[in-house]
Amino acid sequence: MTSAPGRGEADRGRHGRALAEPRTLPPHQRRSSTLRPVHYGRVPRIDRARWSLTIGGAVTGEPVRLDWEEFSSLPLMDVRADHHCVAKYSTQDLVWSGVPAREVVRLAPPEPGAEHVLVSAAYGYSSSVRLEDLLSPRALFATHLDGEPLTPEHGWPVRLVLPHLYGFKGPKWVAEVDYCHEPQRGFWESRGYHLVGDVWREERYAYQE
Ligand SMILES: Nc1nc2c(c(=O)[nH]1)N[C@H]1C(S)=C(S)[C@@H](COP(=O)(O)O)O[C@H]1N2
Ligand SMILES: [Mo]
């Protein structure tokens, strides 16, 4: 994003030049130095030997279920990204590692015309994302944060990370990806939050759709 919305006085040097740090935040976000765990309900206890990721719904062919061994044999990548919660705080410079979301889609592609995805997690949490957002080159199913395995409260064993969308789009303890022809509202989308959730366009609430 080049339009630098939200860049304020604090981000400029005395002569008005933009400083390298701190960097621009999306509109109306404030910095939070640490990533504090935020979620609805309790932290699930997951047995990784029983964990799996299912890709289903409007798939071409059969649904695919990846167990931990199959999932962790997929290609890996690192993404340096900022986290933006819709509750208006951002934490910068996190390094996520895991499987590119595009690899997961490639293993079980959607039917033509299925442009939406419902991503579901333990305990009934879900989020609605567009297929094009899941196909972002920076989207990943993360297993590590800053070089360490995810802690249970940050989503161990696997969470979805979509850096250009608000944090609620990325379920922790992710379990299932379902393609759909029409958008299905997930947990926050059915409680007044935006179907797309682009941080730079400040798509926070459903009434903006
Ligand atoms: N399963 C699940 N995933 C979730 C949530 C949740 O309540 N349950 N909250 C989301 C929200 S609103 C945010 S901002 C991030 C917070 O990530 P963190 O706990 O690692 O800071 O997780 C997202 N993923
Ligand atoms: Mo959030």
- Looking at the chain, the number of H-run helices and the number of E-run strands are 3, 11
Residues pairing with 53 in the sheet: 66
Q: What is the pLDDT along the chain (209 residues), one digit of tens a residue?
A: 333 333 333 333 334 444 455 579 999 999 999 999 999 999 999 999 999 999 999 999 999 999 999 999 999 999 999 999 999 999 999 999 999 999 999 999 999 999 999 999 999 999 999 999 999 999 999 999 999 999 999 999 999 999 999 999 999 999 999 999 999 999 999 999 999 999 999 999 999 99
Residue 23: its pLDDT value, please?
Answer: 75
CA 36 / ligand 2 centre spacing (Å): 10
Is any atom of ligand 1 closer than 6 Å to the C-beta of 125?
yes
Q: What is the pTM of this model?
A: 0.91
Q: What residue type is assigned to position 125 of the chain? A: Y
Q: How many residues does the chain have?
A: 209
Is any atom of ligand 1 closer than 6 Å to the C-beta of 40?
yes
Q: What distance, in Å, lies between the first and last C-alpha atoms of the chain?
A: 21
CA 168 / ligand 1 centre spacing (Å): 6
Are 114 and 130 within 8 A, CB to CB?
no
How many alpha carbons fall within 13 Å on the CB side of residue 109? 5
| Residue spans per domain, the chain | 38-80+91-208
CA 17 / ligand 1 centre spacing (Å): 35
Q: How far apart are CA 29 and CA 77, in angstroms?
A: 27
Q: What is the pLDDT of residues 111-137, one digit of tens each?
A: 999 999 999 999 999 999 999 999 999
Give the ligand 1 atom nearest the CA of 40: 7
Kindly give, in sequence order, each residue whose CB lies less than 8 Å from that of residue 61, ignoring residues fewer than 6 positions away: 108
Q: Compute how many other C-beta atoms are within 10 angstroms of the C-beta atom of residue 177.
A: 27
Are 158 and 141 within 8 A, CB to CB?
yes
Among 148, 154, 172, the mutation site with the greatest number of ligand 1 atoms within 8 A of its Cβ is 172
CA 155 / ligand 1 centre spacing (Å): 8
Buried b (16+ CB within 10 A) or exposed e, 94-113: bebbbbbbbbbbebbebeee
Ligand 2 is a single-atom ion; what residues have CB below 5 A from it? Answer: 85, 167-168
Residue 10: its pLDDT value, please?
Answer: 39
CATH code assigned to 38-80+91-208 = 3.90.420.10
Q: Whose CA is nearest to atom 12 of ligand 1?
A: 168
Is any atom of ligand 1 closer than 6 Å to the C-beta of 156?
no
How many alpha carbons fall within 13 Å on the CB side of residue 38? 18
